[in-house]
Amino acid sequence: MKPVRARWNGAILVCGKCSKKVKGGFGRGGRKPLAKALRKHCRIAKGHEGHVGIVETKCLDICPKGAVVALNSAQTGLWHIVQPGADLDEVAHTLNLDCPK
Ligand code: FES
């Protein structure tokens, strides 16, 4: 195996299937998926270059109707159901995501 250095201090996992089901729902105009909207809102680079990873996963087997499941990998015992249109500052705070103002 060959190691690859990442700059991540942690990771936020967002259900990609939920995101597809709600057809975006976040960001300006409500058209961006949660992972992308959070990345933009908190100015986090995509991939291994960012200080935190925001990763879309497969179905997490919660499957809320009209919402998206997200969690901080440092708090795997606490998952969050995020409604479309939720305030991204509040979402970042809830997920303990370091988001510059
Ligand atoms: S579709 Fe997102 S948890 Fe199942």
Region 10-21: mean pLDDT is: 96
Q: In angstroms, what is the span from residue 84 Cα to ligand 1's centroid?
A: 14
- Residue 68 Cα, ligand 1 centroid: separation in angstroms? 7
Query: Which one of 13, 14, 17 would you pick to mutate in the ligand 1 pocket, going by the greatest count of ligand atoms within 8 A of its CB?
Result: 17
Q: Are 70 and 94 in contact (CB under 8 A)?
A: no
Least confident among 30-39, 44-53, 70-79: 44-53
> Which residue has its alpha carbon closest to ligand 1 atom 4?
63
Locate 27 and state its tokens: 């960001």
With b for 16 or more beta-carbon neighbours within 10 A and e for fewer, the 59-76 pattern comes to: ebeeeeeebbbbbbeeee
Structure tokens at 30: 């409500």
- The encoded tokens of residue 33 equal 């998926």
The per-residue pLDDT of the chain, averaged, comes to 93
pLDDT at 100 over 80: no
Is the model's pLDDT at 4 over the cut of 90? no
- Mean pLDDT calculated for residue range 24-38: 93
